[in-house]
C-alpha cells in the first residue's frame, strides 16, 4: 500500500493523530507554532496537512495544489476524523494494530515469552498476541482499551 496517505497533524487538531495511527495511517504530530516549518515538513515528507488554521490554507503551495491540506471544520474529534475519512475516502480498518499510537513507528510482533515480565500478569494470562514499538518499547495487546477505541471508531464512521 504505497499510496496510503501520510499525515502531519497540527497541534490545534492533535487528537486526530491517535485515531489515524489506530487505523494504521502514518501520522506525525506537529507541536510547533511556526506554520512555515509545518509546511516544510509536509513537503519534505509528502504528508497531508490537517489543521484548523485558515492562514495555512492560503499559502500558495496549498492553493496551487502542490501540497494537500484539509481545513478541519469541527471542534469535536469525532467529527474531525469523520471529515478526514470522508474527504480522502480512508479505510477505517486499513491496518489496525500496526503502528505505535505514541510515535507512529511500525509495531513488531512479540512472542508471549518475550513480554512475560513487561505486562501485567492478568494480561499475560488472557492475551495471546503482543506487539511492541521498537522506538518507545511500549507493548500493545488487544485489551479493553484497544477494543473501546476501535469500537468508537467503527461507531462514528458508520453513521451516515
Q: Which residues would be at the binding site for Zn ion (CB under 5 A)?
A: 100, 102-103, 133, 135-136
Closer Cβ to Zn ion, 40 or 136, answer by number:
136
- Radius of gyration in angstroms for the set of CA atoms belonging to the chain, rounded to a whole number: 17
We find the least distance from the C-beta atom of residue 26 to Zn ion, in angstroms, to be 13
Closer Cβ to Zn ion, 97 or 156, answer by number:
97
Sign of CA dihedral 75, 59, 38, 152: positive
Closer Cβ to Zn ion, 132 or 157, answer by number:
132
C-alpha cell, 144: 479493553
We find the least distance from the C-beta atom of residue 147 to Zn ion, in angstroms, to be 20
Closer Cβ to Zn ion, 58 or 137, answer by number:
137
Amino acid at each position: 500500500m504505497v499510496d496510503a496517505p501520510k499525515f502531519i497533524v497540527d497541534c490545534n487538531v492533535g487528537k486526530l493523530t491517535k485515531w489515524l495511527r489506530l487505523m494504521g495511517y502514518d501520522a506525525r504530530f506537529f507541536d510547533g507554532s511556526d506554520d512555515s516549518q509545518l509546511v516544510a515538513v509536509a513537503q519534505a515528507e509528502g504528508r497531508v496537512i490537517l489543521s484548523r488554521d485558515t492562514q495555512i490554507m492560503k499559502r500558495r503551495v496549498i492553493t496551487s495544489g502542490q501540497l494537500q491540506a484539509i481545513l478541519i471544520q469541527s471542534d469535536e474529534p469525532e467529527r474531525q476524523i469523520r471529515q478526514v475519512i470522508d474527504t480522502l475516502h480512508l479505510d477505517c480498518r486499513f491496518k489496525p494494530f500496526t503502528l505505535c499510537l505514541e510515535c507512529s513507528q511500525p509495531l513488531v510482533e512479540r512472542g508471549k515469552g518475550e513480554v512475560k515480565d513487561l505486562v501485567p500478569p492478568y494480561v499475560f494470562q488472557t492475551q495471546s498476541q503482543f506487539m511492541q514499538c521498537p522506538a518507545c518499547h511500549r507493548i500493545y495487546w488487544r485489551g479493553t482499551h484497544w477494543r473501546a477505541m476501535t469500537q468508537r471508531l467503527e461507531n462514528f464512521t458508520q453513521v451516515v
